[in-house]
A and B are shown apart, each in its own frame.
Chain A
Amino acid sequence: MHDTAHDLAVQITALQKWYGAFHVLKDISLSVSRGARIVICGPSGSGKSTLIRCLNGLENYQQGTVILGGTRLGDNARDTSLARRQTGMVFQNFNLFPHLTVLSNCTLALRRVGGMARGEAESLALHHLERVRIPEQAYKYPAQLSGGQQQRVAIARALCMNPRLMLFDEPTSALDPEMIKEVLEVMTGLAHDGMTMICVTHEMGFAREVADEVVFMDQGSIVEQAAPATFFSTPNHPRARSFLNTLLH
């Protein structure tokens, strides 16, 4: 039921952010259509995390605009909660709640934010745990799960809130190689279901297969933005080239 004029899931315009004197995001503009899959990559410290954290109000910014699902976000509690209702976020370190079972991790926000009854919340949570293929772990605690399983729970927990946009901040960087695949498979499944996704990741296989567009950041700027085939075969910018070289070696 959305306005066709607002067929953009996210529109970032001239975003500027400083940490004190440090200019961390420099004039960032980026449009993401509904259903698009964007991969953001770039050297450590280039501002990738900061950028996607501006989209759900985990960071504020000094200049520029962020339009999410047609609504321009201001720096106030109402807009922040609006942004958080529309987005789901998956962190590098999972950030599951260790004192709650897998199921309670998933139902907490459904019950406290959505005001859903327990039974309804649990069946919805189980549905999403099936989607990430670990319904059998529902009554365990996060510490009893492998890293890959924990990250899949974190994805299910975010999906429970029915986000229109999923933000991933290096979801596989803390994982052992054998677990990376299972998480990427879940993310690929999500992409095929039509979820709008912005993924900070260095998994180039995933980017090639799933992304519509690769955004390369360096020192707080978007340096290059291209379809994955183009970006990986003929990167334009020398810094993109040297970054890809370091990934290959």
Chain B
Amino acid sequence: MSILDIWLGILEGFRVTAGITIYGLLFAIPFGLVFGVAQYLATGFVRFVVTSVIEFWRSSAVIILLFVFYYALPVIGVTLSAMTVGAMVLGLNIGGYASQAVRAGLQALDRGQKEAGQALGLSRPTILLRIELPQALVAMSPTFINHIIQLVKATSLVSLITLTDMTFRAKEISQIAYEPVPIYLSLLMAYFVACYPIALFGRWVERRVNPVREARNGI
């Protein structure tokens, strides 16, 4: 089997890998934002509930969650497609991490930012949306890029719930061709090729964000 055949074979799984990543982000981004903000604002029992939900998704083993949601839920009559289970479990897991970055970003802001907004008479939601979140999200953007890269790599687990992603394809090909070394090296490179543009994008974002930040530190 030529390297080209191996590459074309793995490429057939790219659509699933990309699909799970994008579909997963649709879970991760709202979850990270809403729960990160909620954890920042809430107190008492509400905060406890919010924290518990975050910890469930962040601290459970992803591979076990995939099996539970894919194989165990149908037993109680809930059947989700493999694609949905994969995107949801991976997305909410990464979203759990992202929520902590959102919360940390908000907490790291100078207290004076909120107070200046209050002194001007701005409402709490306006202060959050116009003053706190824009600054926190920009400060945390390198972390969010890391999370997206982690998500891409984590998609390789969905091969365990029957989805033909790049990893699944590599396993298939290696069963036909018995050439595990070139096949898995190619797979390794395939993930690198998928992730590197995201890293480059992250650096571009950081450069765009930085002039203001550097000037701020310069005073």
Contact A112–B212 (Cβ < 8 Å):
no
Residues of chain A within 8 A (CB-CB) of B212 are 98-99, 141, 143
| Contact A91 to B116, CB < 8 A, known contacts A112-B122, A141-B212, A143-B212 | yes
Instruction: Report the separation of the CA atoms of residues A185 and B3 in the bound assembly, to the nearest whole angstrom.
Output: 76
Binds B, one of A29-37, A65-73, A81-89, A221-229: A81-89
Residues of chain A within 8 A (CB-CB) of B213 are 143
Instruction: Report the separation of the CA atoms of residues A88 and B119 in the bound assembly, to the nearest whole angstrom.
Output: 7
Interface of B, helix, strand, loop or mixed by DSSP: helix
| B44 located at the interface, meaning its Cβ lies under 8 Å from any Cβ of chain A in the complex | no
Contact B216–A108 (Cβ < 8 Å):
no
Instruction: Report the separation of the CA atoms of residues A81 and B119 in the bound assembly, to the nearest whole angstrom.
Output: 9
Contact B115–A95 (Cβ < 8 Å):
yes
Contact A95–B112 (Cβ < 8 Å):
yes
Pick from B130, B135, B215: contact of A108, CB below 8 A: B130
Pick from B121, B123, B135, B218: contact of A98, CB below 8 A: B135
Contact B120–A113 (Cβ < 8 Å):
yes
Contact B219–A147 (Cβ < 8 Å):
yes
Residues of A within 8 A of B (CB-CB), count: 30
| Contact A85 to B130, CB < 8 A, known contacts A91-B115, A141-B215, A143-B218 | no
| B131 located at the interface, meaning its Cβ lies under 8 Å from any Cβ of chain A in the complex | yes
A43 to chain B, nearest CB (A): 22
Interface residues on B, range: 20 to 34
Instruction: Report the separation of the CA atoms of residues A146 and B122 in the bound assembly, to the nearest whole angstrom.
Output: 26
Nearest to B214 among chain A residues (CB) is: A143
Contact B130–A113 (Cβ < 8 Å):
no
| B113 located at the interface, meaning its Cβ lies under 8 Å from any Cβ of chain A in the complex | yes
Contact B119–A97 (Cβ < 8 Å):
no
Contact A143–B122 (Cβ < 8 Å):
no
Instruction: Report the separation of the CA atoms of residues A84 and B123 in the bound assembly, to the nearest whole angstrom.
Output: 11
Residues of chain A within 8 A (CB-CB) of B120 are 84, 108-109, 113, 157-158, 161
Instruction: Report the separation of the CA atoms of residues A84 and B134 in the bound assembly, to the nearest whole angstrom.
Output: 24
Residues of chain B within 8 A (CB-CB) of A158 are 119-120
B216 to chain A, nearest CB (A): 4
Pick from B113, B121, B123, B218: contact of A97, CB below 8 A: B113
B213 to chain A, nearest CB (A): 8
| B126 located at the interface, meaning its Cβ lies under 8 Å from any Cβ of chain A in the complex | yes
Instruction: Report the separation of the CA atoms of residues A143 and B113 in the bound assembly, to the nearest whole angstrom.
Output: 15
| Contact A98 to B216, CB < 8 A, known contacts A91-B112, A108-B130, A112-B126 | yes
| B11 located at the interface, meaning its Cβ lies under 8 Å from any Cβ of chain A in the complex | no
Residues of chain B within 8 A (CB-CB) of A56 are 118-119
Residues of chain A within 8 A (CB-CB) of B110 are 93, 95
| B63 located at the interface, meaning its Cβ lies under 8 Å from any Cβ of chain A in the complex | no
Residues of A within 8 A of B (CB): 56-58, 81, 84-85, 87-89, 91, 93, 95-99, 108-109, 112-113, 141-144, 146-147, 154, 157-158, 161
5 contacts between A and B (CB under 8 A): A87-B119, A89-B119, A91-B119, A108-B131, A144-B215
Give me 8 other A-B pairs in contact (C-beta within 8 A), A88-B119, A113-B121 excluded. A97-B113, A97-B135, A98-B135, A112-B123, A141-B215, A142-B216, A143-B215, A146-B219
